[in-house]
């Protein structure tokens, strides 16, 4: 892998990632992560971006046993953990790529599904502008993009102020421990719309702090 910023790494955090997540969020992130999984049970070519420790891959390969999956993540430890989770019953193909998504040469219309859970929130608006354009182009017309992520609170209620503070603490943690560039969640909605994708499904969790979304690319 070339050019991946040495200061960004989820490796030191990879093995404790799921334990810390459950400690802080209980099962809420899991619910958001798997909320739209059934919608891709028949998909053939699937791209998992920033898959992390493989919890989504594990469920996907147990309900969709014959698909072709590309798992792209910059962390070799996360990729190793993901490999261990593939059930023996899976009969499809998986290609594990240790790559930096920001410089990856995505092939045009190569996938019918893209999944990016708790991943786009690692990047600034500037990075996302280029990234979302490239990822959109790798999706077939009519294809689906599944996104589970945090949402920046509106700051109009006491609850939303508390959510805002929790999110700031989370960002300080990920900036210090993993070196992510972002300070806040940038909604991908406008950028995806500009690339011909529209939101077809949205489920909210934790009083709006999290969303699980399906975008469809115009056919
Ligand atoms: C917050 S974790 C999310 C993991 C998982 N998708 C989930 O649902 O929890 C972000 C993941 O993205 C990967 N990542 C971060 N920046 C990346 C980049 N530029 N290229 C590829 N992977 C990256 C990290 O290694 C990590 O596994």
Q: pLDDT value at position 85?
A: 98
Examine residue 152 and state whether it is found in any structural domain, yes or no: yes
Q: pLDDT value at position 7?
A: 67
Q: pLDDT value at position 5?
A: 57
CATH code assigned at 160: 3.40.50.150
- Confirm if 129 and 121 have CB atoms less than 8 A apart: no
* β-bridge mates for residue 41, sequence order: none
Examine residue 128 and state whether it is found in any structural domain, yes or no: yes
Structure tokens at 113: 């599904």
Count up the domains in the chain and report the number.
Answer: 1
Distance 157 CA to ligand 1 centre (A): 31
Residue in 72, 73, 56 with CA at minimum distance from that of residue 10? 73
- Confirm if 21 and 49 have CB atoms less than 8 A apart: no
Q: Which residues line ligand 1 (CB under 6 A)?
A: 8, 10, 33, 50-52, 56, 73-75, 78, 100-102, 117-119, 122
* β-bridge mates for residue 132, sequence order: none
State which ligand 1 atom lies nearest to the alpha carbon of 104. Answer: 20
For 48-106, how does the pLDDT look when each residue is reduced to its tens digit (9 = 90+)? Answer: 999 999 999 999 999 999 999 999 999 999 999 999 999 999 999 999 999 999 999 99
Examine residue 3 and state whether it is found in any structural domain, yes or no: no
Taking CA atoms only, the protein residue closest to ligand 1 atom 17 is: 74
For the CA atoms of 218, 135, 185, 19, the dihedral, rounded to the nearest 10 degrees, stands at: 120
Q: pLDDT value at position 2?
A: 43
Helix ranges restricted to H, the chain: 11-14, 17-25, 28-34, 55-63, 76-84, 125-137, 158-177, 189-194
Q: What is the pLDDT along the chain (219 residues), one digit of tens a residue?
A: 444 555 689 998 899 999 999 999 999 999 999 999 999 999 999 999 999 999 999 999 999 999 999 999 999 999 999 999 999 999 999 999 999 999 999 999 999 999 999 999 999 999 999 999 999 999 999 999 999 999 999 999 999 999 999 999 999 999 999 999 999 999 999 999 999 999 999 999 999 999 999 999 999
Examine residue 5 and state whether it is found in any structural domain, yes or no: no
Burial of 80 (0-12, 13-18, 19+ CB in 10 A): middle
Structure tokens at 66: 């014959």
By residue range, what is the domain housing residue 27? 11-217
Examine residue 118 and state whether it is found in any structural domain, yes or no: yes
Rounded CA-CA distance 76/119 in Å is 16
Examine residue 4 and state whether it is found in any structural domain, yes or no: no
Examine residue 96 and state whether it is found in any structural domain, yes or no: yes
């Amino acid at each position: 892998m070339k050019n991946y910023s040495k200061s960004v790494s989820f490796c030191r955090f990879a093995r404790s990632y799921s334990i810390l997540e459950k400690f802080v969020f209980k099962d809420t992130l899991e619910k958001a992560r798997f909320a739209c999984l059934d919608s891709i049970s028949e998909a053939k070519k699937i791209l998992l971006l920033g898959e992390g420790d493989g919890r989504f891959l594990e469920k996907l390969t147990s309900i969709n046993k014959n698909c072709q999956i590309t798992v792209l993540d910059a962390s070799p430890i996360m990729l190793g953990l993901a490999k261990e989770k593939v059930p023996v019953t899976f009969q499809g193909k998986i290609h594990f790529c240790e790559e930096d998504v920001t410089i990856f040469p995505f092939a045009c219309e190569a996938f019918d599904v893209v999944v990016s859970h708790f991943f786009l929130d690692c990047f600034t608006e500037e990075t996302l502008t280029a990234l979302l354009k490239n990822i959109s182009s790798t999706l077939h017309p009519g294809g689906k993009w599944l996104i589970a992520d945090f949402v920046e609170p509106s700051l109009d209620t006491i609850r939303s102020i508390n959510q805002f503070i929790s999110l700031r603490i989370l960002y300080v943690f990920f900036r210090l421990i993993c070196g992510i560039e972002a300070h806040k969640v940038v909604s991908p909605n406008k950028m995806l719309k500009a690339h011909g994708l529209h939101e077809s499904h949205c489920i909210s969790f934790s009083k709006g702090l999290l969303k699980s979304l399906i975008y469809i690319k115009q056919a």
